Homo-oligomer: A and B are copies of this chain.
Amino acid sequence: MADNFHSITFEITTGTAEVALDITDRCAAFLDTTAPGRDGLLNVFVPHATAGVAVIETGAGSDEDLLAALRDLLPSDSRWRHRHGSPGHGRDHVLPGLVAPHATLPVIGGQLALGVWQSIVLVDTNRDNPRRTVRLSFLG
């Protein structure tokens, strides 16, 4: 592995409810360890077909608002063709079409160059998969 690329995976408990989980601290800790003082790009990726990565404010209701908007835009009803699980589960498979499972973000001096109100969030509406993997990759 060349020194300019580092990648890890970690597991996270998402439980059995819809969640928008703040993983910013995990991303920052990864950069502290693997890219101290360095510049480049951080790629955040979830290797799941029913989850996405968003960059939004957390702690003031917007994480819940995003989940509510997704319930409205992708209703958990019988409209979906996806043939596995309960009918409403089909929406979870459309989610990554709107909230992509990847985000690539600037890193300056070993720090994520996020805005004050931005957090990196794992969006997971799938109640049947309580554990998730996240892959973080730094390229500098």
Binding site for B on A (CB under 8 A): 1-2, 5, 7, 38-41, 43, 45-49, 54-57, 60-62, 64-66, 68-70, 73-74, 79-84, 90-91, 93-94, 96-106, 108, 113-118, 123, 133, 135, 137, 139-140
Partner of A101, one of B62, B73, B118, B140: B118
The answer for the CA separation of A68 and B74 in the assembled complex, in Å, is 10
**Complex CA–CA separation, A66 to B82 (angstroms):** 10
Looking at the assembled complex, report how far the CB atom of A81 sits from the nearest CB atom of chain B, in whole angstroms: 3
Interface of A is mostly: mixed
- The 10 A-B pairs of least Cβ separation, nearest first, read A47-B115, A61-B81, A62-B93, A49-B117, A49-B57, A61-B82, A66-B97, A104-B104, A54-B97, A106-B137
Assuming A41-B43, A104-B41, is B60 touching A82 (CB within 8 A)?
yes
A46 CB, nearest partner CB in chain B, Å: 8
Write 23 A-B pairs (CB below 8 A) sorted by A numbering: A5-B39, A41-B104, A41-B139, A43-B104, A43-B105, A43-B106, A46-B115, A47-B115, A47-B118, A48-B118, A49-B117, A54-B97, A55-B101, A55-B102, A56-B94, A57-B82, A66-B97, A69-B73, A69-B74, A100-B103, A101-B118, A102-B103, A139-B140
Q: Is there contact, CB below 8 Å, between B84 and A60?
A: yes
> How distant is the Cα of A97 from the Cα of B7 in the complex, in angstroms?
25
